[in-house]
Amino acid sequence: MWRYVYEVVSKLKKADQQALFKALEQDLYPKEVNKIEKLLTKIRETRFSAGLGCIHCGNISKKKRYVSFQTTLFM
């Protein structure tokens, strides 16, 4: 089946082949990345609208950086 389709497509002009490829690509692999990026941007704007704060107490005046246990082992 796909070999017949390939034969027919190979007989098309190059511009028509590219248009068909783009249409198939959009149908088979929709770009959901844009939706995810917009959602992440909205989450970040909502979460950090008042600025960065302490994840433990919520204080926004603390600027102390969190240091994990693993990073202290290798220093």
The predicted structure's pLDDT at residue 18? 95
CA-to-CA distance for 7 and 3, rounded, in angstroms? Answer: 6
State the total domains in the chain: 1
User: CA gyration radius for the chain?
Assistant: 25
The predicted structure's pLDDT at residue 63? 54
Beta carbons of 52 and 64 less than 8 angstroms apart:
no
Query: What are the tens digits of pLDDT across the range 32-75?
Result: 767 788 888 888 788 777 666 676 776 766 655 555 555 555 55
Amino acid at 47: R
The predicted structure's pLDDT at residue 19? 95
The whole domain housing 42 covers: 2-73
32 or 18: which leads in pLDDT: 18
The predicted structure's pLDDT at residue 62? 60
The predicted structure's pLDDT at residue 17? 93
